[in-house]
Structure formats: C-alpha cells, structure tokens
C-alpha cells in the first residue's frame, strides 16, 4: 500500500489511477496480467496533473515512491538529454492514448470499405 505525502490533488490523481485498475501487489513477471495504467504511465502523466513544476513533481514521486517510480525517472532523465528523446515522447503519447481509450468501443467494420 502506498503512503501518500502529496497534497490533496495528488491524492485525487492516485485514487483516480487506482480506480482504473492499478493494483498494489499481485502477480509479477512477463506473463502476469498488466494493469490499464501502470507505474510507467502514472509517472508520465501525474507530474502534469499536479500543480507546480513537473520536474519537481517527478523528483518528489521518485523520492516518495522509489519502488514504483525511481527507475522510470532515471530512464527518462537519461533519455531527455539525448538528441531524439524518443523513449520519453513515445511512452508519454502511449500513456495519454491509454487514458483516452478507456471505455471506448471500437468497431473496425464501420471504417472498412
């Protein structure tokens, strides 16, 4: 169970992610069922949902919840100083798209000729 040291808005964001199916604990490994919005997507989205400086929010997330977010912060900090920033940008767009697609029913027959 996470202990939240963020202000009330962060509490709301964390409870929002939890409501989307993010489970604390559970099965681990490459073949375990994955949550809809996991730690990686949370790390990408939460700094922008909280008020204040996103970089400072990322640092606080990694410090407050090292098991969940520290490895993602290290990866994306390294990626941000590269010329292409591909990993960070692709993962960020994927996280936004996952949230946008929640509850959407897509019927491919409507779009085929």
Per-residue pLDDT of the chain (113 residues; tens, 9 = 90+): 444 445 556 666 667 776 665 455 555 666 666 666 778 888 888 888 777 888 998 898 888 888 888 999 999 998 888 877 778 888 888 888 888 877 777 777 888 76
Is 60 a domain residue?
yes
CA 73/CA 8 separation, integer angstroms? 23
Is 89 a domain residue?
yes
CA 58/CA 111 separation, integer angstroms? 40
Task: Give the helix/strand (H/E) hosting 17.
Answer: helix 8-19
Count: domains in the chain? 1
Is 28 a domain residue?
no
Is 29 a domain residue?
no
Given this model, what pLDDT does residue 73 score?
A: 92
Residue range of the domain that includes 93: 1-18+36-100
Is 14 a domain residue?
yes
Tell me, rounded to whole angstroms, the distance of Cα 82 from its chain centroid.
21
CA 110/CA 94 separation, integer angstroms? 24
Is 93 a domain residue?
yes
Is 26 a domain residue?
no
Given this model, what pLDDT does residue 1 score?
A: 45
Given this model, what pLDDT does residue 3 score?
A: 46
């Amino acid at each position: 169970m996470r202990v939240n040291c963020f202000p009330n808005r962060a509490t709301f964001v964390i409870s929002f992610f939890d409501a989307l199916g993010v489970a604390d604990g559970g099965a681990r490994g490459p073949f375990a069922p994955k949550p809809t919005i996991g730690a990686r997507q949370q790390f990408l989205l939460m700094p922008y949902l909280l008020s204040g400086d996103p970089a400072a929010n990322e640092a606080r997330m990694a410090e407050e919840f090292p098991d969940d977010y520290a490895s993602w912060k290290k990866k994306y900090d390294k990626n941000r100083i590269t010329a292409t920033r591909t990993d960070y940008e692709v993962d960020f767009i994927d996280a936004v798209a996952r949230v946008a697609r929640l509850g959407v029913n897509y019927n491919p027959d409507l779009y085929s000729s």
